[in-house]
Amino acid sequence: MSKIRETVYQRVDSIDFLRGLVMVIMLLDHTREYVHADSVRFSPTDLTKTTALLFFTRWITHLCAPTFVFLAGTSIYLQLARGKSRTELSKFLLTRGLWLIVLEFTLVRFSMLFNVDYSFLGFAEVIWVFGVSMIVLAGLIYLPVRVVGGVGVALIALHNLFDGITVPPAVAFASTPPPGTLQKIWLMLHQPGIIPVFENRAELFVAYPLIPWIGVMAAGYALGVVYSWDSERRRSWLYRLGLALTILFVLIRATDLYGDPQAWKNQPSALFTLLSFINTMKYPPSLLFLLMTLGPALLILAWADGVRRDDFWSRILITFGRVPLFYFLLQMFVAHGFGVLLGWMAGKSVGHLFMNFPASNTNVPPDAGFPLWVVYAAWLGGLALLYPLCLWYGKLKQGRRGFPFSYL
């Protein structure tokens, strides 16, 4: 175990590097949602309305959630490798999971909506997924690592077999009539939709159904084993696995026999045909979506295995990657705040940025939002604001354990 511990401490920079990279990209996506003129008028991946630049601005951010959840699983395994007992780790995962669920519907909810009108409970999104997946993993870690990895891969690979089981859209999104108990469970597990809560006095929008995301975290946990290997073997294996997943995506997507409910189609141009090919389903994340994102993520992780922390760009990404939850909470306020501030400075109405869903999408003024270049400028400005805060918190957190540092 001592050899594993020594190896783990030498490899953590590569994980933080990749995590920091996807967190930087994440801010771009959230800034687009609050600042871009067309963010709620049509989907940036709607090939009948989008542009190539807008599509790729959205598409590159698909890398974020799968990588974020996957690396969380890897980090959980590394806690065992550093000497934490399964009992200690299980208790930590249970309490931190519950804490994350509370955060999702309090601080995260406020950062997304800027109101405290709990007739809309909030969005069950990535922090909710982290919380529930950690609670599930609190039990799974008592099983052999290969079993946990097998469970994760099975959930990822097989969940699309259940795509035919659906709650009708009129029920899932209009709540008329409200979904029954089994329908509510299914919306939690596999299909996005709105669930009435508190005896129909409030609504919850489940944007991230649980089944595939639990699988992603479990698979990431199993990957942690490679950090007990020597660097050459580990890097080679990560490259091969990342390349295999990427090739598998191309082969399965080309046939469209399985793995994503949305078939790709030939478009008027070769570029838009390519966009159709890589336009896979995120809600819930299909097998092809996860192959398309986790394959390249593993290739980056293999490359990052040799990064130097004193390199300028590596230092920035590692700084972000070492305080993921702190960064996440702040970046939502930054993205939403830029939307309000820029709109107010331009003399635009910003009332919709304080409304609950779905009113926030249906009451958008005609002049709301800004061109895409403003989104990129606000994104860079947001990163400049966040970096010194994350650097300060990373130094404050260093060497400290327990609440609140291990929970934030």
Q: How many CA atoms lie within 13 A of 278 on its CB side?
A: 18
- Answer yes or no: is pLDDT of 139 > 50: yes
Contact yes or no for 234/305 (Cβ under 8 A): yes
pLDDT at position 311 is 86
351-405 residue pLDDT tens = 999 999 888 888 899 999 999 999 999 999 999 999 999 999 999 988 777 667 6
Q: Residue 212 and residue 116: Cα distance in Å, rounded? A: 31
Which helix (DSSP H) or strand (DSSP E) does residue 19 occupy? Answer: helix 2-35
Say which DSSP state 61 is in.
G
Residue of higher predicted confidence among 401 and 166 = 166
- Answer yes or no: is pLDDT of 64 > 90: yes
Residues 6+ positions from 127 with CB-CB distance below 8 Å? 100, 101, 103, 104, 108, 328
Average pLDDT over residues 317-346: 96
pLDDT at position 11 is 44
Q: Residue 136 and residue 139: Cα distance in Å, rounded? A: 6
Q: How distant is the alpha carbon of residue 54 from its chain centre?
A: 19
243-267 residue pLDDT tens = 999 999 999 999 999 999 999 999 9
254-308 residue pLDDT tens = 999 999 999 999 999 999 999 999 999 999 999 999 999 999 999 999 999 988 7
Residue type present at position 125: E
- Report the domain count for the chain: 1
Q: Which residue has the tokens 């159709």?
A: 276
Residue 192: strand, helix, or coil: coil
192-236 residue pLDDT tens = 999 999 888 899 999 999 999 999 999 999 999 999 999 999 999
Q: Hey, what are 229's tokens?
A: 């290997």
Please report, for residues 84, 145, 206, 290, the alpha-carbon distance to residue 221 in angstroms, rounded to integers and kept in the order given: 15, 8, 25, 16
3-18 residue pLDDT tens = 444 444 444 799 999 9
Rg (CA), the chain: 21
Q: Residue 366 and residue 352: Cα distance in Å, rounded? A: 11
Q: Residue 110 and residue 288: Cα distance in Å, rounded? A: 33
Query: Whole-number mean pLDDT of the chain?
Result: 93
Q: Are strands 193-197 and 120-124 parallel, antiparallel or unpaired?
A: unpaired
Average pLDDT over residues 62-74: 97
pLDDT at position 328 is 97
Measured N-to-C along each axis, helices 126-140 and 86-104 cross at an angle, to the nearest 10 degrees, of 160
Could you list the residue range(s) of the whole structural domain that residue 227 is in? Answer: 2-407
Q: Which residue has the tokens 């993520």?
A: 297
